[in-house]
Structure 1
Amino acid sequence: MSLYKRGNTWWVRFTAPNGQQVRRSAKTTNRRQAQEFLDCLKSDYWRVAQMGDKPKRKWQDAVERWLEEKKDVKATYINDVRILRWLHDYLFDKNLDEIVRDDVDQIIKAKLAEGVKNATVNRLLEVIRAILKKAQTDWEWIDKATHVPMLPEPKRRVRWLTHEEADRLLEELPDHLAEMVRFTLATGLREANVTQLQWSQVDMNRSCAWIHPDQSKSRKAIPVPLNADALALLKRQEHRQQEKPSDFVFMFRGKPIKKANTRAWRDALVRADIDDFRWHDLRHTWASWHIQQGTPLYVLQELGGWAGPEMVQRYAHLSASHLKVYADQLAQSKAISTNLAQSTISGDLETVECAKKSA
């Protein structure tokens, strides 16, 4: 029987032209509507088999394939899972080619109603956009994905510390956190890469360390050159662990440090009179200091393990040394030099005339 009931809901069951057994809920208690659903479904499968149409794929099919492909390669995988769970009620049973702008607008409105910022909504929209793009270009499940807009986000300035502010903060921090801050300012590593750093990732003889691909946000290995400050710090850590060696570089009371952004960190910021500053801003500080010392952007990108130049570009405005040669060329212009000379002469003559009148 093609139509049957489960409780009060009608279900459909049939064999598609390719031999596939199809069983699906019609999501209705009305038999006539269930029959219409069955007829449309059979027609879709027939067109796929006989006319070469693409089979109808649902959002949930795309989600399952996306999660399978990204499981071991995407650093934000856990966040994606959380987002997709939230989207379940809005897109779960929709065909991919039936997802339209109205659906996206409804999702935006619902998420904003939770009181979140545009940036949070955009992270959700980026996941929708990425899955639909995959379905169109890579999997060839749909001919064209609907447009997914991004909400405007305020452009925040890069928060970084001056050397004087950094010294002030270090004086207020407990020793174990101060050492981690010094290491971050010397290497630019992210919080998790510092707290999880193991001695097996350090070679002090070659003055280098490394972050494994599965520990990196970009999922690429990051070489970490160790300057004199970083090496001196590591030697101190090594000396402290002589009696009780550990696999981890940074320890507190005999245990690995799981999180650096603690109450001790926040209290030290207050005592140091430093506002609006997060642990991750230490990485911004490291990058800003590099740029101010003349490190080229492409070198900074490699040092920081960024996948593309866009993130590094945020620091470009902190140094204009690479532009000075072009500014100097304008200063050598004859027209400008002549005008400046004439202005100087005119100014000198006016000064002389004023002096004569005064006399």
Structure 2
Amino acid sequence: MARHPYRLEPRGKKGILWIRFTAPNGREVFRSSGTVDRELATEWASKIHTEQYRVARLGEKPRRLWTEAVVAWFEDHKGKRSIKKDQHNLKWLSPYLGHLHLDEINSDVLAMVSSQRKAEPKNKRRKKDGSTFTDEPTSQATVDRMMALIRSILKDAQRRGWTDSSPSIQIKEADGGDDYRWLTQNEAVRLHDELAPHLRPPFLFALATGWREQNVLRLMWDQVDLDRRVAWIKGRQAKAKKAIGAPLNRNAMDILLEQRAKRVAGNPWVFPSGSEKDSQPYVRASNTGWYAAQRRARVEPLAWHDLRHTWASWHVMAGTSLRSLMELGGWRSYQSVLRYAHLSPEHLAADAGRIETLAEPLRSRSK
């Protein structure tokens, strides 16, 4: 019986079979087959070995792997602000694309990847008995960000000449409409009453300022000036990497004064996790207790970030201009706040009335 020029080695907890052999140019090849089926892995290994021979001996153009394209793309984008999110997506994609060549990634493969991600729960949380549960599906926006990342990597590989073409990936752009969740006043009251006592102050502060979860939880007293009634987010903590100063309204001031009264000398955190001097802030506010409270308050599903949407919606309905809202919320573009414009059409009343006199002859004829 002829001996294969390669070896198949199971690796990892799942026993995925990896191929190992020495290519004709002397380079060792070690790749995952993506399967535990030895027959399929053997067929794939034979194909890879043949391709390596044809490239080395016949001068054919080498076929590039998805993993090679990822490495090349990452090298050029490692300074990207959202690179950690990209790394998370790439780790999730590895079992599906990691063993494929670029020319094997077609529309059918991408449709499968998209549907798999959409069907996967967004967040798995752990119960006291050790089991996990979730009641929130992965959002379409999360799937779209992952597909945009795939498109970027495939386009980059095409520019490098590693593939002749890349499959079309159509992603619906956000239309800025009322596609977000916000709380009514009654819903906010119900949720507040169901929250654990330690979650109520950061909850109220988020509604008073519109700050994001980590900006609230990691607020330090050296970022607060109660005399001037202002607080600020440091540049390294802001999403836009630019410091944000925020005037404090009465609601925010009341919360800070209550927290100062409870403060333990020497503790720098506004919302510490305990009453000791070395108590650290909570890692997350959107924990098991948060989701349980919103179920009891009948306001689910609700993400902590929806408190920012609530703050912005309440502002617009109270008459705050979109330009002022943009500055208060630290948004970099006017486009970001247009999604809230429909909540207060009153600011267009004067413009709507400009043609009243022009249409007056028509109005008199209709009588």
TM-score by length of 2: 0.69
Residue 342 (structure 2) pairs with residue 321 (structure 1):
no
Which has the higher Rg, Structure 1 or Structure 2? 1
The answer to whether the Cα contact below 8 Å between 2:23 and 2:49 also exists between their aligned partners in 1 is no
Partner of 1:286: 311
Q: CA deviation at 1:104?
A: 1.7
Partner of 1:238: 260
Q: 1:1-359 alignment to 2 at 5 Å?
A: 5-7=5-7, 11-15=21-25, 22-24=27-29, 36-42=50-56, 57-67=64-74, 73-75=80-82, 77=84, 79-96=85-102, 99-111=105-117, 119=140, 121-136=143-158, 144-150=165-171, 157-163=179-185, 165-167=187-189, 169-170=191-192, 173=195, 175-204=197-226, 207-216=229-238, 218-229=239-250, 230-241=252-263, 243-254=264-275, 255=279, 256-262=281-287, 265=290, 269=294, 274=299, 276-306=301-331, 308-333=333-358, 336-344=359-367
Q: What secondary structure does 2:5 align onto? A: strand
Go from structure 1 to structure 2 and tell me whether the alpha carbon gap of 1:151 and 1:222 turns closer, same or farther (over 3 Å shift). Answer: same
Of Structure 1 and Structure 2, which has the larger fraction of its residues in helix? Answer: 1
**How many residues are treated as equivalent by the alignment?**
324
Go from structure 1 to structure 2 and tell me whether the alpha carbon gap of 1:327 and 1:177 turns closer, same or farther (over 3 Å shift). Answer: same
What letter corresponds to residue 285 of structure 2 in structure 1? A
Separation (CA, whole Å) in 1 of partners of 2:91 and 2:341:
38
Q: CA deviation at 1:149?
A: 3.0
The answer to whether the Cα contact below 8 Å between 2:229 and 2:248 also exists between their aligned partners in 1 is yes
The answer to whether the Cα contact below 8 Å between 1:12 and 1:23 also exists between their aligned partners in 2 is yes
Moved more, 278-287 or 227-236: 227-236
Structure 1 unmatched ranges of 5 or more: 16-20, 49-54, 345-359
Partner of 2:134: none
Q: CA deviation at 1:201?
A: 3.1
Partner of 1:347: none
Q: For residues 84-110 of structure 1, what are the alpha-carbon distances to aligned partners after superposition, in whole Å with 9 as ceiling and x for unaligned?
A: 233223322434355332332343355
Separation (CA, whole Å) in 1 of partners of 2:332 and 2:81:
13
The root-mean-square deviation of aligned C-alpha atoms, in Å, is 4.1
The answer to whether the Cα contact below 8 Å between 2:20 and 2:29 also exists between their aligned partners in 1 is no
Q: CA deviation at 1:276?
A: 4.4
Go from structure 1 to structure 2 and tell me whether the alpha carbon gap of 1:95 and 1:232 turns closer, same or farther (over 3 Å shift). Answer: same
Structure 2 unmatched ranges of 5 or more: 9-18, 32-40, 122-136
Separation (CA, whole Å) in 2 of partners of 1:299 and 1:226:
12
Separation (CA, whole Å) in 2 of partners of 1:112 and 1:162:
29
The answer to whether the Cα contact below 8 Å between 1:173 and 1:265 also exists between their aligned partners in 2 is yes
What letter corresponds to residue 122 of structure 1 in structure 2? D
TM-score by length of 1: 0.70
Moved more, 169-178 or 230-239: 169-178
The answer to whether the Cα contact below 8 Å between 1:75 and 1:219 also exists between their aligned partners in 2 is no
Go from structure 1 to structure 2 and tell me whether the alpha carbon gap of 1:332 and 1:32 turns closer, same or farther (over 3 Å shift). Answer: closer
Q: CA deviation at 1:248?
A: 1.2
Q: What secondary structure does 1:5 align onto? A: coil
Go from structure 1 to structure 2 and tell me whether the alpha carbon gap of 1:65 and 1:197 turns closer, same or farther (over 3 Å shift). Answer: farther
Q: CA deviation at 1:223?
A: 0.1
Separation (CA, whole Å) in 1 of partners of 2:50 and 2:24:
14
Separation (CA, whole Å) in 2 of partners of 1:76 and 1:30:
32
Identity %: 34
The answer to whether the Cα contact below 8 Å between 1:173 and 1:264 also exists between their aligned partners in 2 is yes
Q: For residues 198-221 of structure 1, what are the alpha-carbon distances to aligned partners after superposition, in whole Å with 9 as ceiling and x for unaligned?
A: 2233344554433345434x4522
Q: For residues 163-209 of structure 1, what are the alpha-carbon distances to aligned partners after superposition, in whole Å with 9 as ceiling and x for unaligned?
A: 45545554555554332122112211111221122223334455443
The answer to whether the Cα contact below 8 Å between 1:176 and 1:251 also exists between their aligned partners in 2 is no
Separation (CA, whole Å) in 2 of partners of 1:167 and 1:118:
27
Q: For residues 221-271 of structure 1, what are the alpha-carbon distances to aligned partners after superposition, in whole Å with 9 as ceiling and x for unaligned?
A: 240312232234323322321x43312111243242333235654565567
Q: For residues 269-302 of structure 1, what are the alpha-carbon distances to aligned partners after superposition, in whole Å with 9 as ceiling and x for unaligned?
A: 5676645444322111111122223444344334
Separation (CA, whole Å) in 2 of partners of 1:163 and 1:118:
26
The answer to whether the Cα contact below 8 Å between 1:222 and 1:303 also exists between their aligned partners in 2 is no
